[in-house]
Every structure is written in C-alpha cells, then in structure tokens.
Amino acid sequence: MASTTCTPLSLSSSSKAPPRLQPPAAAQCVAVAPPPLAKTTSYRPAGRKIGRNVAAMATGEASAEVVNVGSAETPEIVEKIQQAWEKVEDKYAVTSLVVAGAIGLVACAGVISAIDKLPLIPGVLELVGIGYTGYFAYRNLASKPNRDALIQKIKGTYNDVIGSS
C-alpha cells in the first residue's frame, strides 16, 4: 500500500513584498512506497528463538532447532562447576560471599583508580612492584631447591583450597 503526499502550497516572491505562500496552479503529489518486509532469514535476537522454541515445546511440536539444542554437549568446566554447586550445603552463604567479593573488587578498583590519579604515587608503587618482583625471583626461583620448595608450597595451598580427594 503506497501513501500519497500532496503539496498544495509553494513559495513565490515579488520584488517589493517578502515571499508569501500561494497555492500553485496544479497540486503536485508524490507517492511513497512502503518499506520492504524483512526476510525470514534476517538476524533475530536470541530471545525470539527461545520464545518460539518454548512455544513449540509447550504445544508438543518438535522443530529441528529444539532437537539440536538438547544434543549439544556442555563444556567440562561447566559440568565441574555444576557438580561443585550441588555439593554445597549452604548455598546462601556461598552466594553472599560471592556478592561481597564482587562488591569488594569494585571498591578496590575505585581505590586503585583514585591512587592512580595522584601525581607521584603511581611511579613509586611501580618501583616497589619491580623491586619486590626481583626479590621474589632471586629468593624463590634462582636455585633448584628453592624452586622445588615453592612448587610444593603452591601444590599444598591448592590442595587446601580445593580439597584433596
């Protein structure tokens, strides 16, 4: 369906008077075509597909997309996280700790950005970091016995955090 726009007035000017709107001898009409319909293969947000799949599943229809979604494998890390979450007894406490950790992380980022804006402090802290990195490397990585002790300490800490099975 095309829409039609008519322009019944036009500008005219005379040498003595300012320009005025006057009706033209014949009205000019312009037809505007409607925008083309979107193709069915165009991009759609994922939410529409999910809604369609849910509707298909509720009515008992099984589309190819619904069948393929169920056959996809989940990554190993996701399975491990799900198993660990099922073993947790106090989910409320763990969730609270995660939220508190996220808030703490945002607060630390704010403090670090505030310190970074000070004129002399970032350079001094960078020198301290470089110095401590050198000290740590000299003390723990320079000789074989120290490296082995560091590896054992890391493995022990890992087993304490994760829990040895």
Residues 46-87: pLDDT tens digits? 555 555 566 566 666 655 454 444 446 788 999 998 998 999
C-beta of residue 31 within 8 angstroms of C-beta of residue 2:
yes
Lowest-confidence pick of 38-47, 78-87, 150-159: 38-47
How many residues belong to the chain? 165
- Predicted pLDDT at 66: 46
Please write down the long-range contacts of 16-20, taking CB distance under 8 Å and 24 or more positions apart: none
